[in-house]
Amino acid sequence: MNSEQEFVLSAIEERDIRFVRLWFTDILGHLKSVVVAPAELESALEEGIGFDGSAIEGYARISEADTIARPDPSTFQVLPLEAGVSKLQAARLFCDVTMPDGQPSFSDPRQVLRRQVQLAADEGLTCMISPEIEFYLVQSLRTDGLPPVPTDNGGYFDQATFNEAPNFRRNAMVALEELGIPVEFSHHETAPGQQEIDLRHADALTMADNIMTFRYIMKQVARDQGVGASFMPKPFQEHAGSAMHTHMSLFEGDTNAFHDPDDQFMLSKTAKQFIAGILYHAPEFTAVTNQWVNSYKRIVYGNEAPTAATWGVSNRSALVRVPTYRLNKEESRRVEIRLPDTACNPYLAFSVMLGAGLKGIKEGYELDDPAEDDISNLSFRERRAMGYNDLPSSLDQALRQMEKSELVADILGEHVFEFFLRNKWREWRDYQEQITPWELRNNLDY
């Protein structure tokens, strides 16, 4: 038993932890959990917990059902008490999923991201990520298909005058800090009920774990205040969608590989090649960063949502934005990728973005001049005339682009790639089959 495992066991005893949640995700990013008693944790840390992989969406065929969840002791955190539910203290550990022989499972999203992180490490690079996470607070998540009702009447940076959850962001920030997830900013977003909480940068794998924890905690804090938290990309027709603008940078040791003090925008050749890789491959990986039918309502009809594979300096309509805050500060040089929404699987989303950027560096992609137009206000013809490459405008288009991508197939691995496509094509067919109220209103009396 190593020192990290010993620390977890001693912390369990000292903090009087009564049960431990072992967490992992399926391919679509749903959080899965198995609870063990403290007495069983030592065995779980050394041998893992066996489960039926064929019962988890996309994990294994019935003939490969035996799967092991191996707790990662570096992810140990004590969970905040659930108000009104229990006074028994709980903790959580994220798991790596393996086969019985100890080999990484080809279905585990965490392992998919590990592979890209290792490819970066092989080049001496560490990827750091900081997300801006937007989501809605609504009066109830149980609406029977009707539009939800927001909890407040606030707008951008407002202190809402009507608010059914006035202490939500304060309580949420406290809960995150208790879990060791540092918060940079918190504020009301543009639409009624819409919130934004920005997390301080961390390495890619830690940040993906943090985002899964974030979504769990936001729903718990909201429930404690009698409301609901929704990470649906666009729950309101008349209001903006919820994005997860993702700030990325690469470090060589303590040196920011994206910084060049002699460049006009302080961007190094490495940063420009990374951006070029993102832009070139974005149409291929959009289905991963924006995985739901509803995701494309945000992209096509949202404010400041990218519709084309462009980059710009301080341009919030571009897919990749180069922030100009603290332009001369080396450690702050980063790129902001504005495509992902808050309902993506963060392990897979970070994998395809990092993989595309590394491809641009490895192959020496050239970066075009930055866009200065408001891309979201340009028509399709205008974007095409200006040489901009459009992003997919529906899940159907995104899946067609992804199917042809050798890069995305290589990043995700054959099993995840094939299952993801099969699952999402089924979702698209189910969506197409429905008869919508719009159709009935406009066509029934023809």
What is the DSSP annotation of 252-287? ETTEETTB-TTSTTSB-HHHHHHHHHHHHHHHHHHH
What pLDDT digit, counting tens, does each position of 253-287 carry? Answer: 999 999 999 998 999 999 999 999 999 999 999 99
CA distances in angstroms from 350 to 74, 335, 345, 403, listed in the order given: 20, 14, 9, 19
Return d(Cα 234, Cα 238) in angstroms, integer. Answer: 9
What is the dotted CATH code of the domain comprising 115-441?
Answer: 3.30.590.10
Q: 315 pLDDT band (50/70/90 cuts)?
A: confident
Of 226, 245, 242, 246, the closest CA to residue 234 belongs to 242
- On average, the pLDDT of the chain sits at 91
Dihedral angle sign, alpha carbons of residues 390, 391, 395, 401: positive
Q: 58 pLDDT band (50/70/90 cuts)?
A: low
User: Which pLDDT value is given to residue 235?
Assistant: 96
Residue 62 pLDDT exceeds 50: no
What pLDDT digit, counting tens, does each position of 71-112 carry? Answer: 999 999 999 876 555 567 899 999 999 988 888 888 899 999
Cβ contact 412:351 at 8 Å: yes
Cα 253–Cα 257–Cα 260 angle in degrees, nearest 5: 135
Q: Where are the domains of the chain?
A: 17-107, 115-441
Whether the model clears a pTM of 0.75, i.e. scores above it, the answer is: yes
Domain pair 17-107 / 115-441, same fold:
no
Return d(Cα 240, Cα 191) in angstroms, integer. Answer: 6
User: Which pLDDT value is given to residue 106?
Assistant: 87
What pLDDT digit, counting tens, does each position of 337-393 carry? Answer: 999 999 999 999 999 999 999 999 999 999 998 988 777 777 778 888 888 889 999
What pLDDT digit, counting tens, does each position of 385-416 carry? Answer: 888 889 999 999 999 999 999 999 999 999 99
Average pLDDT over every residue of 219-230: 95
Please tell me what DSSP assigns to residue 51: E
What is the dotted CATH code of the domain comprising 17-107?
Answer: 3.10.20.70
Cβ contact 48:96 at 8 Å: no
- Tokens at 243, concatenated: 């994005």
